[in-house]
Structure formats: C-alpha cells, structure tokens
Amino acid sequence: MSQPKNGFQVHHIEDAPEESRETLQAINQAYGFLPNLMGIVSESPAALKAYVTLNRLFKEESAFSQTEAELVLLIISAHNGCGYCVAAHSAGGERAGVDAATLEDVRQQRELSDPKLQALAAFTRKLIDARGWVEHKDVDAFLQTGYSHRHLLDLLTALAMKTISNYTNHIAETPLDEALSAKAWKEAS
C-alpha cells in the first residue's frame, strides 16, 4: 500500500489518539475494515467525530431518499475531484441499489436521464462552484423539481461532511483501500 503524503499517517485503532479509538472501533465493526481515510482523520478526534456525526445525520435524518443521499455524496466527491471518495460512494451507491449507468454518469459528471436527479446534480455543482452564492433563480429551479428547503439545508450538511473527507484526501493523498480498488476512478476530463 502506498503511504499518505505531507507527513500524514494512516492510524490503526491501537496507535490512534486515545480519543479516536472508540470511534475507530465502531467504524471497523460497521465496515468490516478500517478505511484509510478514517485512519488519517483520526489524528484529530474532533474531525473524526464531526465526519462520523455528519455522515450519520445526513444518511439517517435528511429528507433525501437513500438513493439520492448516496448520489449527493458521489456528485460532490466527483465534482471536487476526490478519487478516494468517488470509489467509496460508488460502492455505497451500488449497495443502495443505484443502477450502474447512473453511477457511471455521475462519476463522469455527465447529464443524468432522470430529470429530478439531474436537477439535484446541477444544483449541487452550482452550489460548490458558487461557494454558496447561488442565484435566486437557481434555488427556485431546484425547489420546482420537487425538492424543499429542507433538502437544500440537508445538502449543506453533506457538503460540510464531504469538505472534511475530500480535502483530507487531497492534502494527504489517501491511498485507496483494497476493498475499494474495484471502484477506482479516473477523473472525467
């Protein structure tokens, strides 16, 4: 396995900061392995707990369906150019029952055949590019496709979570886990 960059370390449960160990044990139990990203983020117990909490809240309490939630995380990660998270959320999308064609379209940032999902993808990308300063017409268009203000705020929760993971992966060049290697991603040009 390659090593992370910029002096980062992929911690294991036994060598992680004490305050991160319980969270890492729960992650290991849930996934059956400890993802390299979590090993790196565990250096900061606050960042690890923030990521895990936001992830749980987004997946369990957002207004998005399970399919939409997985696609949101994949859309954000692909738009941010995060290969590690694209692989992880491609696997998550498969587990959620997203069809292979839709997953590949999101991975390659192509237009989606489902108009509502396309509106979600387009608005998410605009929100990232505008750093939140989207125009009223963009918000109105998003709301007119059947999404609500709650969805918009839930989308911000996902963006906060993915900022932690996408940026960590960019800075540390997190090595892809063997369990995710089949979902490795070559960024769309």
* 125-135 per-position pLDDT tens digit: 999 999 999 99
> What does the mean pLDDT of the chain come to?
96
Decide if pLDDT at 189 tops 60.
no
- The predicted model gives 135-155 an average pLDDT of 98
Decide if pLDDT at 75 tops 80.
yes
112-120 LR contacts (CB < 8 Å, sep 24+): 115/145, 116/145, 116/146, 116/147, 117/68, 117/71, 119/145, 119/147, 120/68, 120/71, 120/72, 120/75, 120/145, 120/147
Decide if pLDDT at 2 tops 80.
no
Cα distance between residue 61 and residue 44, in whole Å:
25
- The predicted model gives 176-189 an average pLDDT of 86
- The predicted model gives 47-70 an average pLDDT of 97
CATH numbers and ranges of domains, the chain: 64-163 (1.20.1290.10)
Beta-carbon contacts of 124 under 8 Å, excluding residues fewer than 6 positions away, are 72, 75, 76, 79, 155
